[in-house]
Amino acid sequence: MRVGLKSWMQPHLDRVERALSAGIAAESPADLGQAMRYAVLDGGKRLRPLLVLATAEAVGDVANSPAALNAACAIELIHAYSLVHDDMPCMDNDVLRRGKPTVHVQFGEAQALLAGDALLTLAFEMLTPPDGSVPAAVQAACVALLARASGYQGMAGGQAIDLASVGQRLSEDQLRQMHRLKTGAVLLCSVQMGAACVPGVPAEAHAALTRFGQALGLAFQVVDDVLDVTADSVTLGKTAGKDQAADKPTYVALMGLDAAKAYADALAAQAMQALAETGLPEARLAALRGLTAMVVERDN
């Protein structure tokens, strides 16, 4: 991990963790809140919330801004919901996630389905606090970005392609399009929501941050494909070797392990270059650069 990133990350992780815990009440009808808390708390790298906060801080003076913290929590709730549903028997049928039994294993399928649904809707509730702490225009911008990134033109659409692609040979273009939607859209949205929390960001910076988020999103997925074959289940906290076993198209299957690793590095370099093109002061970009390095150097 880059020098400085750890000391930036820890207080931000603490804030996100506290806000997520406060946002999901354990007391709820038929213990639904317990399943939601199990899905969200005590696990995960929190990459998406950190991207929201790092981007917001890159473009403005928003330390402790409720808008950025709400957006950071909202994107993690969407991510957690997607993992709960993805692990269910009707999709990837997995038993291990974040080092624990998956939500449907622990709570049953119906409760897992409902927990995912409720996390999805809670995300939008978090973006729209009724207390006037976030300007209406910022709320509307974040809602629009998150809805689009997680719906049929984003994550859900990508998941549909993923499920339809098992056993298929995809071209590199088709694979990129699937991942652009399935994983990339939410990662890009983290960056875009961070920028949306600060009104008046110059168009040039917006465009460069979009290129940054796109390159980072793809790098993340390529690394995910690499880790599926190189890491073990304990380190990953989820079942290793699943893609290969399920005959899923991946970057490793398409181009081989070494070429996939080199491609991830090239995408990270593109992401770093896009940051330079934002025109923002380097000192403000340190956390985003650190997170980019973390994405390609991670072991889980």
Residues lying near ligand GRG in the complex (CB under 6 A): 44-45, 47, 79, 82-83, 85-86, 98, 155-156, 159, 182-183, 224
To the nearest whole angstrom, how small is the minimum distance from the Cβ of residue 180 to ligand GRG?
A: 12
Nearer to ligand GRG, 13 or 257 (CB): 13
To the nearest whole angstrom, how small is the minimum distance from the Cβ of residue 80 to ligand GRG?
A: 8
Nearer to ligand GRG, 85 or 261 (CB): 85
To the nearest whole angstrom, how small is the minimum distance from the Cβ of residue 106 to ligand GRG?
A: 16
Nearer to ligand GRG, 182 or 289 (CB): 182
To the nearest whole angstrom, how small is the minimum distance from the Cβ of residue 158 to ligand GRG?
A: 7
Scored b (16 or more CB within 10 A) or e, 96-118 reads bbbebebbbbbbeeebbbbbbeb
Nearer to ligand GRG, 45 or 284 (CB): 45
| Backbone torsion region of residue 93, taken as left when φ is above 0, otherwise alpha when ψ lies between -120 and 50, otherwise beta | left
To the nearest whole angstrom, how small is the minimum distance from the Cβ of residue 119 to ligand GRG?
A: 11
To the nearest whole angstrom, how small is the minimum distance from the Cβ of residue 207 to ligand GRG?
A: 25
Q: What is the DSSP string of 132-177?
A: S-S-HHHHHHHHHHHHHHHSTTTHHHHHHHHHHTTTPPPPHHHHHH
Q: What is the DSSP string of 175-188?
A: HHHHHIIIIIHHHH
Nearer to ligand GRG, 206 or 298 (CB): 298
**Residue with nearest beta carbon to ligand GRG:** 44
Q: How far is CA 10 from the centre of its chain?
A: 18
Q: How far, CA to CA in Å, does 225 sit from each of 233, 250, 261, 291, 298?
A: 14, 6, 9, 19, 12
CA distance 219 to 295: 8
Rounded to 10°, the helix 66-86/136-150 angle is 20
Which residues does 258 contact at the CB level (< 8 Å), separation at least 6?
Answer: none
To the nearest whole angstrom, how small is the minimum distance from the Cβ of residue 92 to ligand GRG?
A: 7
Phi, psi angles (nearest 5°) of residue 178: -60, -45
To the nearest whole angstrom, how small is the minimum distance from the Cβ of residue 33 to ligand GRG?
A: 20
Nearer to ligand GRG, 83 or 191 (CB): 83
Nearer to ligand GRG, 15 or 182 (CB): 182
Nearer to ligand GRG, 179 or 211 (CB): 179
CA distance 274 to 268: 10
Q: What is the DSSP string of 191-215?
A: HHHHHHTSTT--HHHHHHHHHHHHH
